[in-house]
Amino acid sequence: MNSIRLDRFLAGEGAGSRAEVKKMIRSGRVRVNGVTAASGDMKTDPASDEITVDGKPVRMTEVPTLMLNKPAGVVSATQDVHFRTVVDLIDEPWADKLFPVGRLDRDTEGLLLLTSDGRMSHELLSPKKHVAKIYFAVVSGCPDQETVRLFRDGLDIGEKRRTLPAGLLFLGNTAAAFPAETWDEDKAGSSPVIWDMKEAAAAVSEADIRRCGGNECCVLISITEGKFHQIKRMFLAAGREVHFLKRIAIGGLYLDPALPPGTYRALTREELAKLRGSRTIA
């Protein structure tokens, strides 16, 4: 289990404000495993430590990790002065313990995980872990094999280093290009970086495909890092614009098609296990 500062844990469980909790600790009212706590910055593991205030146990609230279908217009943050945040969409008493795992732009939709588990968040976001994220996008024009190659070899998007190998899969520009069962991998601009193209393509709804207008194309992209506006900047570097962006998968976990935008559900035990053992792409 994760360890956490004692004062942070107690404040998070509603024992008082951070300042009030510090005062309680200083006046000897807080014990950890029967020993009076010396200071608020001591590390504790609330899953196994017995923490009491005035002799009454304070237990950790179990907070599930959630899968949210993020709608456009909300920001991936816990607080914001101008816009609604993804946490504002969570109607649960423990919502304020959650934070988003990484960020999607305000206009980006789709799979966003919300958790209170810092370790899991780090495992999924660390560039060293190479956890793949798959996006569906509507872009201007149709990328060709050269664009697939550029994505695979890495693009200069104005950072110190080129982007890591990314997968790009062309889905077509009409609903007629679907259903995904009729997939033709030879024509699709296959990429080794999208590990299971059929699985990813099947996760794209027909409604999303219908977003593609005449001069646009629907594509799948898989990346293993998360630079600011990364996909939009990659397409710009390849001479295209992103008109719509939706994340459909993280580390082998797909957005539940039964979740309309703005709704969420807890991850199942199997889904959590899948995330913990996320497939990585070296």
Q: Which residues are catalytic?
A: 105
Q: Which is nearer to ligand URA, 142 or 237 (CB)?
A: 237
Residue 45 contacts ligand URA per CB under 6 A: no
Report the residue from 44, 108, 222, 224 that binds ligand URA according to the rule CB under 6 A: 108
Q: How far is the CB of 265 from ligand URA (least distance, A)?
A: 21
Subset of 67-106 contacting ligand URA (CB under 6 A): 104-105
Interface with ligand URA (CB under 6 A), residue total 8
Question: Could you tell me the CA-to-CA distances from 89 to 13, 25, 79, 92, 267 in Å, in that order?
Answer: 21, 34, 12, 9, 17
Window of 89-97, 211-219, 229-237, 249-257 that interacts with ligand URA by CB under 6 A: 229-237
Alpha carbons 88 and 84: distance in angstroms, whole number:
6
Using rule CB under 6 A, residue 157 touches ligand URA? no
Give, in degrees to the nearest 5, the angle at Cα 213 between 84 and 243: 35
Q: Which stretch binds ligand URA (CB under 6 A): 16-24, 61-69, 227-235, 262-270?
A: 227-235
The tokens describing 269, both together, are 């035990």
Token duo for residue 154: 């890495």
- The residue from 97, 232, 240, 246 that contacts ligand URA (CB under 6 A) is 232
Please report which residue ranges of 13-85 form alpha helices under DSSP H.
18-26
229 makes contact with ligand URA (CB under 6 A): yes
What pairing do the DSSP bridges indicate for beta strands 242-250 and 253-254? antiparallel
Q: What 3-state DSSP class applies to 181?
A: helix
Do residues 242 and 231 touch, judged by C-beta distance below 8 A? yes
Residue ranges binding ligand URA (CB under 6 A)? 104-105, 108, 229-232, 245
